Structure 1
Amino acid sequence: MAGVQDMGEKIKIWFRFVPREGWFPQDTEGLWATKLSEDTARVENIPFLQDGVAEGDVVRYQTDSDGLHWAAGQVGSAGNCTIRVVPVPTGPLGGSPQAVHERLSPFGLGGEVFSSDFPMVAFTVPAGTDFAGVKALLAQGQTQGWWHYEVGCGTRELWDA
Structure 2
Amino acid sequence: MMAAMENAIEKIKVWFRFVPREGWFPQDIEGLWATRLSADTAVVENVPFLQDGVAEGDIVQFQTDSDGLHWAVGRVSSAGNCTVRVVPVPSGPLGRSPQAVHQRLAVFQLGGEVMSTDFPMVAFNVPADADFAGIKALLSQGQDDGWWHYEVGCGTDEWWNA
Smaller-chain TM-score range? over 0.9
Give the AA of the match of 1:54. A
Q: Tell me if structure 2 keeps the 8 A contact 1:7–1:36.
A: no
Equivalent residue number for residue 23 of structure 1: 24
Distance 1:100 1:5, change over 3 A: closer
Structure 2 runs not aligned, ≥5 long:
none
Q: CA deviation at 1:24?
A: 0.3
Which deviations, in whole Å up to 9, do the C-alpha atoms of 1:19-64 show, x marking residues without a partner? 0000000000000000000000000000000000000000000000
Q: CA deviation at 1:5?
A: 8.8
The separation in 2 between residues aligned to 1:6 and 1:69, in whole angstroms, is 20
Equivalent residue number for residue 159 of structure 2: 158
Question: What do you get for the CA RMSD once the two structures are aligned?
Answer: 1.2
TM-score by length of 1: 0.96
Matches within 5 A, 1:48-87: 48-87=49-88
Equivalent residue number for residue 88 of structure 1: 89
Q: How many percent of aligned residue pairs carry the same amino acid?
A: 77
TM-score by length of 2: 0.95
Equivalent residue number for residue 110 of structure 2: 109
The separation in 1 between residues aligned to 2:20 and 2:71, in whole angstroms, is 17
Q: Tell me if structure 2 keeps the 8 A contact 1:12–1:30.
A: yes
Give the AA of the match of 1:11. I
Equivalent residue number for residue 139 of structure 1: 140
Give the AA of the match of 2:16. F
Give the AA of the match of 1:60. Q
Q: Tell me if structure 2 keeps the 8 A contact 1:6–1:35.
A: no
Q: CA deviation at 1:8?
A: 2.2
Distance 1:6 1:17, change over 3 A: farther
Distance 1:89 1:21, change over 3 A: same
Q: CA deviation at 1:136?
A: 0.1
Q: Tell me if structure 2 keeps the 8 A contact 1:7–1:35.
A: no
Q: CA deviation at 1:7?
A: 4.8
The separation in 1 between residues aligned to 2:87 and 2:74, in whole angstroms, is 28
Structure 1 runs not aligned, ≥5 long:
none
Aligned residues: 158
